[in-house]
Structure 1
Amino acid sequence: MSISAYGLLALMLLLVASLIRWPQRAVTAFGVVLLLLLLSGLIDAATLLQSASNPGLASLVLLLLIAVALEKTSVLRRLSRWLITGSARGSLARVLGFSALSSSMLNNTAVVAAMLSTIQANTRQPASKLLLPMSYAAILGGTLTLIGTSTNLIVHSMLLDRGHAGFAFFDFTLIGLALVLACGLVLFVLAPWLPALSQAKQTAPASLLEARVLPGSALAGKTVEQAGLRHLQDLFLLAIVRAQERICPVAPHDVLAADDRLMFSGDVRQVQLLSQFDGLVLYAERTGLSADAMTEVMVKQDAAIVGDTLKSADFRARFDAAVVAIRRDGVALQARLGEIELQGGDVLLLATGPDFSRRHNLARNFFILSGLRPHSVLSGWREQLAWWGFAAMVVATAVLGVPLFTAAATLLAALLLTGCLSAAEIKRRFPTDIWLIVTAALCLASALTGSGLANNISELAALHLGQGSAWLAFAGVLLLTYLLTELITNNAAAALMFPVAYSLALGMGIEVMPMALAVAFAASASFITPYGYQTNLMVFNAGSYRLRHFVLTGLPVAATYLLVCLLLIPQLFPF
């Protein structure tokens, strides 16, 4: 191996280690790798620009922008109202089927977001018996078509970059359908064992609230017991912060003083109890916002405010909202609200101002779980145009053979010209993260070839595996990609594993397609933890789940998923 090949191998190993250690910083990790590849001469500017304009990557970006218009319609939310019936089994079957079918064509995060509030609000079936299966079904549904999930399109773009025809629209369908049916059956058996939300509500996950004792308050000078703060319903006085002093645990005889910050832990539904105490104001109310009407949001994993505190993020000015409470499942928060570093998956209860719903940065940072929603929704003929235009794009691509890029570009132009999307929305929602990750991955694949490392991998495969079992190599790629998906993210796993799988296929003299499909399918299989995939994170908090619920439910689903892939992919796409 050459020096450049050794250097590139070390860089790839460092990238994997960085992604495992900081999975939420995938964009930064890939961005640094891209810069190092350019500075070291392993790629040139022409290669970088060619990778950034890859047709498959461009198609993926266009589809994600089109999804913005579809998210602004109410069709999914209206249809989801018909999912819940008086029958537990019937409701589960409808939720699984609708979620999988919708995700085969649409962004599965948008599908889960549209169904989430409907399932939570229903009074006929426990929501927590439906939310986790819904998330898994959305993941499974993404495997049904080329456009069902971003990982399919990422592998498609990398195939195009290597001079292959890429995937056809329905190459995934037979295998994806088998996965939906087999894993759906497993979920149908396991779902009744999930906890009932009615039980979870009685022990609602604890949120952290902060209130201040105003100067002149009747509470000042009283003990905690005398003030009536000792036995609040579902709220526990966790700590008193006084200047640089922190009193924790709080004793009944501790005396309150003006300007004390009182930290409560408990059920946010009881937050209005605190307003009954004279001179006690919530953290949000100190900014001039009323906590009478509140909105619940979840911080996205890739939100711009992740890693910032409420103070450093300038939260009030940024969103015209103030945080009433923060909940982070599995972690007991104790610091003052303004000093807590926000993380993906945090649930915030917000007191909102009049301009909140018109802020353009909401979709970039939050999933809106309940309360106010942005005003920018499509209705009437524009809503019809968005959906019928999307249907026409699918038919043109899948049936008439129109290139996906051409069909998607035409639809996006129509949405722009008719006002269904604005230039500002496209600028705001441009998927910079995915674009950068895939560009870096394509450049990494070029560097593998240019440095000779790809040839080294091919030669090793030919020497040690050439006379061996192609199925074993295929199984190794599938399982390794799956492990990376659970450890890092689906898109990063696909981007990292494709060049390796491609080089193995060439070295062994077998077809590339089954290896590419192994990467695509395995990169979509995130079932065991709530942190590997956005939809899992969304239902994790909404369903009051714990990590054990994902492990106990996800392990059988993941095992079934991998078994179906191991058996079917080689049958339908021989080596």
Structure 2
Amino acid sequence: MLLDAYITLGIFALTIIGLIVLQKRPVAVFGATLVALIACDLVTKNQLLTSIANPGLITLILLMLCSLALEKTRLLRVIASKTIVDSYYSTWFRLFGITTFFSSILNNTAVVATLLSPIRNNPHHFASKLLLPLSYASILGGTLTLIGTSTNLIINSMYIEASGQSLSFFSFTAVGAILVLCCGVVMFFCNRMLPSIEQNKATSEGYFIDAKVSVDSQLVGYSVEVNGLRHLESLFLVEIVRAGRLISPVSPSEIIHPSDRLIFCGDITKLLQLGQFSGLEIFAEKTGTINSNLTEVVIRQESLLVGRTLKTTGFRALFDAAVVAIRRDGERVSGKLGDVVIRSGDFLVLAVGGDYKSRTNINKNFLTLSGVEPESRINGWKACFCVGGFLTTIVMAAIGVLDLLEGLILLLGGLLFTRCLTTNEIVRRFPVDIWLVVSSAILLSNALVNSGVVEFIGNFIGQFNGPQYIYTAFILVYLITWVMTEFVTNNAAAALMFPIGYTVALGFGVDVLPFVMAVAFAASGSFISPYGYQTNLMVFNAGNYRLNDFIKVGLPISVVYALVVLIFVPVFFPF
């Protein structure tokens, strides 16, 4: 028994170390944890099966799948078009209210992705004055309900496994509402610290497009000026790559040579202008889909593309797509597109093939922002069914008329039957990473119990049963979870810290809910790091922010957020 305890603690410690060292690969770390627990015989077969089929985890998966249909409707796009007005303060309040509300019932990544483009291209205000508040509002909105964020649902799935009962739909609402109010006030007064970054054509529309001059092109032998390459609408010839040599800036009198690579910068929607030039082949032209099916994505932090070039990764074979253009943090990406080293947060425009939708690795490497194929849009009665069915399911679950898990199963069946969703879409967007992380974390909790670690910690903590020790432990659980969130992402922090918080509460012999809520809220409180939460990474690039911008605005919000949680969680959930 003692040996099992040491092995379990060793696996737990190595999991934390792995998450810190391999921040971009939390799925691999938790996968290794799962294999180690099974290999060391620290869990039973029944515990393995129940962790995989945990009701809370299944609810989370179903909710994410049903949300895919809503992303295909015009609901959020119509709302986005009504958000931005001439007055900055009016726009700010509309944006904050709409984002927090929809983030409380929808996937907040989808909410941010929908609002990202209208904000970035709005003619009235600096996008950098709105994009960071957009991300923060989506995080705060997620704290309002059980389904507002995957973090809450992960905590609920582990709570079900540990206690046999579920948190209610509105368990988070009281504290979440205070967080929205208090942090919203701080955000409003911190607006002056947001940078005013001019979204000029080199940044907001700064996609870099690589086009190759064929040997028999009619451009060969004539200058840039004569060929009309300086008179394109919203596209600018910024450099020429010739035999490994970079020519920049490009003179109007520069003569075009065979096999030159012409690097344009500008508005990706004007891409098809290049088709008017004979013998000018865009990097992705060979896919045959350059005239349609353009999709804008952002590179995930854990993507296998990070640190590699498009040429060395075999991009086309991996995703059945080709990169048409790239943009990075407002930086100038130089050289041939195939030789650019990819970074996390890079924006890519892809020309996708027919097999793209069925690839299971898309969601693991990209966050899709826009450009879904026209045939996948949902209009008419199907859109009404998607929106009405989703809202009806959520409302009935919230008032206790229908179990959320059962309601989502019925809704998903209806979406498939009406072809609002297809099996290919479900397979491609299925959140295998979240399933593996949560299942492994639940199994690790079981191992801690089986090996006697939980009992040992409980007995040790039981020696310190004074009220001052309880609240101190409560604060420490919150702070450790918050630090892990900023370093290893919210879902991993929640999954890993839940068993610690739960065990600490048992050791003190108090109600576990205050500690459970401390972990849940701390895991959602990522405001300082652009990499702690997906929406932060999305706006980090779109707004051309620096890390210092997140620290200046996020630090005071994090302090207020922590104070609200530490003060009001014990009020609504007494020890």
Q: Quick one: structure 1 residues 479 and 331, their matched pair in 2 at CA, closer, same or farther if it must change by over 3 Å?
A: farther
Q: What is the aligned partner in structure 2 of residue 184 from structure 1? A: 184
Q: What is the aligned partner in structure 1 of residue 435 from structure 2? A: 435
2: CA distance, partners of 1:413 / 1:90? 41
Conserved? CA contact 1:466–1:509, under 8 Å: no
Report the CA distance between 1:420 and its aligned residue: 2.3
1: CA distance, partners of 2:261 / 2:123? 38
After superposition, the C-alpha distances for 1:347-406 in whole angstroms (9 at most, x for unaligned) are 1134567x5997777973544545564521222222222222222222222212533222
Task: Please state if 1:196 is matched with 2:191.
Answer: no
2: CA distance, partners of 1:235 / 1:544? 22
Q: What is the aligned partner in structure 2 of residue 487 from structure 1? A: 487
Q: Quick one: structure 1 residues 325 and 462, their matched pair in 2 at CA, closer, same or farther if it must change by over 3 Å?
A: same
Q: Quick one: structure 1 residues 261 and 6, their matched pair in 2 at CA, closer, same or farther if it must change by over 3 Å?
A: farther
After superposition, the C-alpha distances for 1:53-105 in whole angstroms (9 at most, x for unaligned) are 11111111111111111112111111221111221101100000000000111
Q: What is the aligned partner in structure 2 of residue 386 from structure 1? A: 386
Conserved? CA contact 2:311–2:338, under 8 Å: yes
Q: What is the aligned partner in structure 1 of residue 78 from structure 2? A: 78
Q: What is the aligned partner in structure 1 of residue 566 from structure 2? A: 566
Task: Please state if 1:128 is matched with 2:128.
Answer: yes
Out of 429-438 and 441-450, give the one that drifted further: 429-438
Conserved? CA contact 2:203–2:329, under 8 Å: no
Q: What is the aligned partner in structure 2 of residue 454 from structure 1? A: 454
Q: What is the aligned partner in structure 2 of residue 407 from structure 1? A: 407
Q: Quick one: structure 1 residues 202 and 480, their matched pair in 2 at CA, closer, same or farther if it must change by over 3 Å?
A: same
Q: What is the aligned partner in structure 2 of residue 324 from structure 1? A: 324
State the SS of the aligned residue for 2:73.
Answer: coil
Out of 344-353 and 438-447, give the one that drifted further: 344-353
Conserved? CA contact 2:96–2:137, under 8 Å: yes
Q: What is the aligned partner in structure 2 of residue 118 from structure 1? A: 118
Report the CA distance between 1:224 and its aligned residue: 11
Task: Please state if 1:32 is matched with 2:49.
Answer: no
2: CA distance, partners of 1:278 / 1:414? 50
Report the CA distance between 1:452 and its aligned residue: 1.4
Q: What is the aligned partner in structure 1 of residue 531 from structure 2? A: 531
Report the CA distance between 1:329 and its aligned residue: 2.9
Q: What is the aligned partner in structure 1 of residue 15 from structure 2? A: 15
- Counterpart mapping for 1:371-382 below 5 A: 373-382=373-382
2: CA distance, partners of 1:254 / 1:526? 50
Conserved? CA contact 1:284–1:291, under 8 Å: no
Out of 427-436 and 398-407, give the one that drifted further: 398-407
Q: Quick one: structure 1 residues 174 and 394, their matched pair in 2 at CA, closer, same or farther if it must change by over 3 Å?
A: same
Out of 204-213 and 493-502, give the one that drifted further: 204-213
In structure 1, stretches of 5+ residues that fail to align are none
State the SS of the aligned residue for 1:106.
Answer: coil
Task: Please state if 1:139 is matched with 2:107.
Answer: no
Report the CA distance between 1:144 and its aligned residue: 0.3
2: CA distance, partners of 1:169 / 1:115? 26
Conserved? CA contact 1:209–1:326, under 8 Å: yes
Q: Quick one: structure 1 residues 352 and 462, their matched pair in 2 at CA, closer, same or farther if it must change by over 3 Å?
A: closer
Out of 309-318 and 402-411, give the one that drifted further: 309-318
Q: Residue 539 of structure 1 aligns to which amino acid in structure 2?
A: V
Conserved? CA contact 1:291–1:324, under 8 Å: no
Q: Quick one: structure 1 residues 37 and 79, their matched pair in 2 at CA, closer, same or farther if it must change by over 3 Å?
A: same
Conserved? CA contact 1:491–1:523, under 8 Å: yes
Out of 334-343 and 401-410, give the one that drifted further: 334-343
Conserved? CA contact 2:159–2:165, under 8 Å: yes
2: CA distance, partners of 1:343 / 1:459? 48
Out of 412-421 and 67-76, give the one that drifted further: 412-421
Report the CA distance between 1:45 and its aligned residue: 2.0
Count of residues in correspondence between the two structures: 569
Q: Residue 397 of structure 2 aligns to which amino acid in structure 1?
A: T
Report the CA distance between 1:320 and its aligned residue: 6.0
Q: What is the aligned partner in structure 1 of residue 64 from structure 2? A: 64
Report the CA distance between 1:415 and its aligned residue: 2.2
- Counterpart mapping for 1:198-277 below 5 A: 199-201=198-200, 204=203, 209-212=209-212, 214-215=214-215, 236-237=238-239, 240=241, 242=243, 258-259=258-259, 264=263
- Counterpart mapping for 1:84-99 below 5 A: 84-99=84-99
Conserved? CA contact 2:190–2:553, under 8 Å: yes
Out of 214-223 and 506-515, give the one that drifted further: 214-223
Conserved? CA contact 1:43–1:443, under 8 Å: yes
Q: What is the aligned partner in structure 1 of residue 476 from structure 2? A: 476
Q: Quick one: structure 1 residues 271 and 59, their matched pair in 2 at CA, closer, same or farther if it must change by over 3 Å?
A: closer
Q: Residue 75 of structure 2 aligns to which amino acid in structure 1?
A: V
2: CA distance, partners of 1:308 / 1:272? 28
In structure 2, stretches of 5+ residues that fail to align are none
Q: What is the aligned partner in structure 1 of residue 3 from structure 2? A: 3
Q: What is the aligned partner in structure 1 of residue 550 from structure 2? A: 550
Q: Quick one: structure 1 residues 371 and 172, their matched pair in 2 at CA, closer, same or farther if it must change by over 3 Å?
A: closer
1: CA distance, partners of 2:434 / 2:361? 19
1: CA distance, partners of 2:515 / 2:344? 33
1: CA distance, partners of 2:303 / 2:410? 30
CA RMSD of aligned residues (A): 3.7
After superposition, the C-alpha distances for 1:468-496 in whole angstroms (9 at most, x for unaligned) are 42111111111110100000111100000
Q: What is the aligned partner in structure 1 of residue 348 from structure 2? A: 348
Q: Residue 569 of structure 1 aligns to which amino acid in structure 2?
A: V
Conserved? CA contact 2:201–2:266, under 8 Å: no
Q: Quick one: structure 1 residues 413 and 352, their matched pair in 2 at CA, closer, same or farther if it must change by over 3 Å?
A: closer
Task: Please state if 1:425 is matched with 2:428.
Answer: no
Task: Please state if 1:50 is matched with 2:50.
Answer: yes
TM score, norm. by length of structure 2: 0.87
Q: Quick one: structure 1 residues 271 and 549, their matched pair in 2 at CA, closer, same or farther if it must change by over 3 Å?
A: farther
Out of 151-160 and 378-387, give the one that drifted further: 378-387
Out of 374-383 and 146-155, give the one that drifted further: 374-383
2: CA distance, partners of 1:26 / 1:175? 29
2: CA distance, partners of 1:265 / 1:551? 34
1: CA distance, partners of 2:470 / 2:225? 73
Report the CA distance between 1:183 and its aligned residue: 0.9
State the SS of the aligned residue for 1:322.
Answer: strand
Q: What is the aligned partner in structure 1 of residue 444 from structure 2? A: 444
State the SS of the aligned residue for 2:513.
Answer: helix
2: CA distance, partners of 1:15 / 1:330? 36
State the SS of the aligned residue for 1:463.
Answer: coil
Q: Residue 329 of structure 1 aligns to which amino acid in structure 2?
A: D
| Identical counterparts, % of pairs | 45
State the SS of the aligned residue for 2:439.
Answer: helix
Q: Residue 325 of structure 1 aligns to which amino acid in structure 2?
A: A
